[in-house]
Amino acid sequence: MKFSAALVDIKLEFVSRFQDFRASGNVLKTFASPFTVDIDTVPGYLQLEVLEIKANSELMDIFNARNNTLIEFYSKFVTQEKYPLLRKNALRISSLFGSTYICEQLFSQMKITKSKIRTRLSDGHLENSLRIATTKLQPNIVKLVDAMQCQPSH
């Protein structure tokens, strides 16, 4: 009995957490495959732009070449001027997944950092450590060293 109640709770939790994905399934399909999606399933506010992008053979070739990720395709080739709603939709959808990944990465890194240096950890130190650990920037050490001025002796 105890396990069946727990399973029912888990099922309800999954249903509630993923109902947004069911409701926005057609929007996700439009994002993932704008050239093959059935126009009747596309939300009304996106239909005109989807028809226009389907008619653009150059964009279709770029998309089908699969040399770019979906995010790169929408950011490099789907212009704000010509496809503002499709681009806005793509940014919204890609931010859902990106922010989830970044959040998970941040918490994992925080756990590692806190376990290594717990006794010396201040809020500022933790924030700086997490920023360095989760950034994708690569510093140019040689340029930074060359830019430093030597301190003369007194």
Q: Domain residue spans in the chain?
A: 2-134
Q: 44: Cβ–Cβ under 8 A, 6 or more apart, which residues?
A: none
Length of the chain: 154
Model pLDDT, residue 116: 67
**Mean of pLDDT over the chain:** 80
Q: Give the angle subtended at the CA of 43 by the CAs of 42 and 48, to the nearest 5°.
A: 75
pLDDT at 18: 66
Q: Which two tokens stand for residue 90?
A: 């793509």
Smallest CA-to-CA distance from 98 within 64, 127, 66, 69 is with 69
Report, as ranges of residue numbers, the positions in the chain whose pLDDT lies below 70.
Answer: 1, 17-24, 97-105, 107, 114, 116-120, 152-154
On whether the pTM is more than 0.85, the answer is no
CA distance 25 to 105: 26
